[in-house]
Chain A
């Protein structure tokens, strides 16, 4: 149980275009979803926290107009990277918790974005 999927697993896009990444909780309802970014050989960096039906809370330094997050249902959150630039190339990982237990976060497999 507690499976989180992400789509696509990898994407290459041209500079200036937008890319949407989907994160789905397959067998549980995710009260909260998290979006992380990870550059090579660095640790996870939390970008934003989203709760179903409400606006996402962005971490300091993360541009909310550039990284649009929508958490429209208890099983789906999307991250849209708008007007992508090469420096946005990174590994984007989502996680979700179901609000129970000890608040463990279940991670998706990640999406590798390359902007050319």
Chain B
């Protein structure tokens, strides 16, 4: 079956770095997405990886290892506004997104 695993909740301190992990099992693979979702709002796109390696975009970076079925989202210089849920989604052979349950990130001052 197809499955995405990510931690339910994480806590970090303002100004610090946090890494949110995601493992996936899909029928075929056409890339890994990370989305940010604030409470009561729709998800917004953060990153997409289809090749192994690290993609950096400002304070956010995303890593992919296809052989391990593993990705992480790295957030640096955390700000209070980064408190949100972070959704990992893998694109399968039909380009359908398989969604993880989301990781709620709590930022403390």
Contacts and interface: CB of A to CB of B under 8 A. Distances in A.
Q: A102, A108, A112 — which one has the most chain B CB atoms within 10 A of its CB?
A: A102
Nearest to A44: B99
A107 B96 CA distance: 15
A107 B31 contact: no
B43 A103 contact: no
**Chain A interface residue number, banded:** 10 to 19
Nearest to B102: A43
Interface in B1-52: 30-31, 33, 35, 40-45, 48, 50
Nearest to A111: B42
Interface in A77-116: 91, 93, 102-110, 112
Give the size category of B's interface with A.
20 to 34
B74 interface: no
Interface string A37-54: 000001110100100000
A109 B41 contact: yes
Contacts of B43: 44, 93, 107
A108 B101 contact: no
Chain B at the A interface: SS class: loop
A103 B100 contact: no
Contact of A44 (B31, B40, B50, B87): B87
A91 B42 CA distance: 9
B91 interface: yes
Contact of B30 (A44, A91, A93, A103): A103
A102 B31 contact: yes
17 contacts: A43-B87, A43-B99, A44-B87, A44-B99, A91-B40, A102-B48, A102-B50, A102-B91, A104-B33, A104-B48, A105-B97, A106-B45, A107-B35, A108-B42, A109-B41, A109-B42, A110-B41
8 closest residue pairs by CB, A with B = A107-B42, A43-B101, A110-B42, A43-B102, A103-B95, A93-B42, A44-B99, A109-B42
